[in-house]
Amino acid sequence: MSMILTAKALGIKVGSPLRKFVLIKLADNANDKGECFPSYQHISDQCEIERRTVIRHVKKLEEDGFLRIERRKGPKGNRSNVFHLTLDGPSDRKSPPSDLIAPPGDTGSPPLSDPVSPITCHSFEPVNEQDNYAPKNSLDFSDWEVPNDLIVDWKKHRKQKRAAVTQRVINMHSKEFKKANALGISTYQAVEYQINRGWTGYEAEWHIKSLGLNGESGGLNMDDTTWAESFVR
């Protein structure tokens, strides 16, 4: 592959999109001397253009001076062509007017028998792509240690509140859940309580005050089960 010739081919006007595609393909196969020997069928397969259309465009490229064909005959009678690209001609070289203007009755489009895929020209300049759409399953809920169905319910709850579900939000909840854990409230209970109360966010202090408990007592009094009534749906 000659990147130099490919770049030159991209900048040359040959009067036809398909013809230019064929020229770019030849440049892609050529060495830096401009020599290549792909078969017409290979070009046809790679460009998704019918073989007879490839032959027609190669012949026109030869007539216009963009390449020279060295026709060779093998020992078994088979023929092979060596294409010599000549892309160093005058920069003002133009294709014949007949190539630029479609003759009467010709729309300039290839016949229906020549299906053509969209042409993609790859720039030599680096492209920086940002992953703005990270998959939702990349969110990490591992710190919560709760069943997945509860996480699904929590996500639905946040959606109903029109609140974002991001890793930052998840991490902030994790910190508050750990505070609640220290006070004797499990993460499962905290998440479920947040959903039941209709809270968009969660803070351990809210939970304690809502239960009428003193957060300084060092934890819930498990002998007093009246606090659990708050978790009943």
Structure tokens at 58: 């190669």
For residue 155, give its domain range. 136-231
* Among 89, 85, 87, 88, CA closest to 37: 85
In a domain, 122, yes or no: no
Given strand 67-73, what is the order of strands in its sheet? Answer: 35-36, 79-85, 67-73
pLDDT tens per residue across span 120-137: 444 344 444 333 333 445
pLDDT band per the 50, 70, 90 thresholds, residue 98: very low
Q: What is the CATH number of the domain that holds 53?
A: 1.10.10.10
Q: Is there a single domain that holds both residue 92 and residue 143?
A: no
Q: Is there a single domain that holds both residue 144 and residue 218?
A: yes
Q: Of 44, 76, 100, which residue sits at a domain end?
A: 100
Q: Is there a single domain that holds both residue 80 and residue 149?
A: no
The number of folded domains in the chain is 2
Q: Is there a single domain that holds both residue 7 and residue 96?
A: yes
pLDDT tens per residue across span 176-223: 999 989 988 999 999 999 999 899 999 988 888 888 765 444 444 444
pLDDT band per the 50, 70, 90 thresholds, residue 102: very low
In a domain, 123, yes or no: no
